[in-house]
Amino acid sequence: MSISTASRVVILGGTSGIGLATAKAAAAVGASVVVASRNPASVKSALAELPAGSVGRAVDGSSTEELAAFFEFAGDFDHFAYTAAGPLVSTPLAEYTADKGRAFFELRLVAALNAICLAVPHIRPGGSITMTSGTAAFRGGAGWFLGAAASGAIISAARALAVELAPIRVNVVAPGVVRSPLWSELSEVDREAMYDSIGHRLPLGRIAEVEDVAKAYLQLMDQDYATGTVSVVDGGTILV
């Protein structure tokens, strides 16, 4: 089902960064939007930026009970995007612990798959699911093995789910470095230095803005003959 004024779009992680940009893009084409994240203040702030009629709710994505209640609250919808993610930090193998591994995968993979499981009964015929990976799935780097592992797992899961859940479409967006709250653990000086350093090395000469990436989510919702695909939005990151 292509996205239209009759569409209802649910975005978990939709109150900031890429998720909020995707919500705004969906609303701009007339879709009704439901956003959710853990932080009630973030939900309130997002709704202030979205058109009247948009709906938001605070939900703990690690809680099956809260997720189930959220999807009951959302009702039936056409498109579901999972963009929830915590701040990114480098973790060299020498600093790895089992607890760090569990925490990293809990939000990005375990909670994502749980959310999809609970969302599916509410997705209308012809609807879609869009998951979030990253270019680390294709090009790793020192200190980023957790991100690479989670990103690769998301892509593999989506391809399997595209077959299992058909005719619901399941796709993935894999951004490169994006100017977003994902890097909030870095100081502003370090963050801007990283953006400049990476941007200057890319073929397109800059890192992505959240609006660049949001276009990929909308395209995958709208393209009703795409499933099991990965939309890489990276400014040429994996080429250099």
Q: Which two structure tokens, joined as six digits, stand for 71? A: 């999807």
Catalytic site positions: 133
Q: Residues 154-176: pLDDT tens digits? A: 999 999 999 999 999 999 999 99
Q: Residues 84-102: pLDDT tens digits? A: 988 888 899 999 999 999 9
Mean pLDDT of 15-26: 97
Domains in the chain, CATH or no CATH each? 8-239 (3.40.50.720)
* pTM given for the model: 0.95
The whole-angstrom distance between residue 160's C-alpha and the CA centroid of its chain comes to 18
pLDDT score at 186: 85
Residue ranges with strand state E in 160-204: 169-175, 178-179
* Closest to 33 (Cα-Cα) out of 60, 52, 61: 52
